[in-house]
């Protein structure tokens, strides 16, 4: 079955700097890659996603890139703000099932 590895597990950046979270997946048939943000004690919320026929997608300060050949995908957050502090999960989906990475705890220091 699908396996998703996520790195780093913890990331600390200064406000205004960029943050990058990287994931790899094992099943080359996976075709949808969502990213979720989970604030402390709350539910995960979808923040951006990318399909396998696209290499890059951007939404304001966040962007995702996908390298299908290497089975890598990444989340980039620019101009980080304290409210970006949360746990971020990458995931890989094939039709019905979504498998999540273990999460990255991002701290943005003011």
Binding site for other proteins (CB under 8 A): 6, 31-32, 34, 36, 42-46, 49, 51, 89, 93-103
The least distance separating other proteins from the CB of residue 16, rounded to whole angstroms, comes to: 27
CA–CA separation, 16 and 18 (whole Å): 7
> What are the beta bridge partners of residue 65?
56, 74
Q: Where are the beta strands (DSSP E) in the chain?
A: 4-7, 10-14, 19-25, 32-38, 45-51, 56-59, 62-67, 72-77, 86-94, 97-100, 104-109
Q: Which is nearer to other proteins, 20 or 48 (CB)?
A: 48
The least distance separating other proteins from the CB of residue 104, rounded to whole angstroms, comes to: 10
Q: Which is nearer to other proteins, 35 or 108 (CB)?
A: 35
Q: Which is nearer to other proteins, 17 or 104 (CB)?
A: 104
The least distance separating other proteins from the CB of residue 100, rounded to whole angstroms, comes to: 4
**56-59 and 19-25: which strand pairing?**
unpaired
């Amino acid at each position: 079955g699908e396996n998703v590895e996520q790195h780093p597990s913890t990331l600390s950046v200064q406000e205004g700097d960029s943050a990058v979270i990287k994931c790899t997946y094992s099943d080359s048939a996976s075709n949808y890659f969502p990213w979720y943000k989970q604030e402390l004690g709350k539910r995960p919320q979808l923040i951006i996603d990318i399909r396998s026929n696209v290499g890059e997608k951007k939404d304001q300060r966040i962007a995702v890139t996908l390298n299908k050949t290497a089975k890598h995908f990444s989340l980039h957050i620019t101009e980080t703000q304290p409210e970006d502090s949360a746990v971020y999960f990458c995931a890989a989906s094939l039709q019905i099932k979504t498998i999540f990475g273990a999460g990255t705890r991002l701290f943005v220091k003011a």
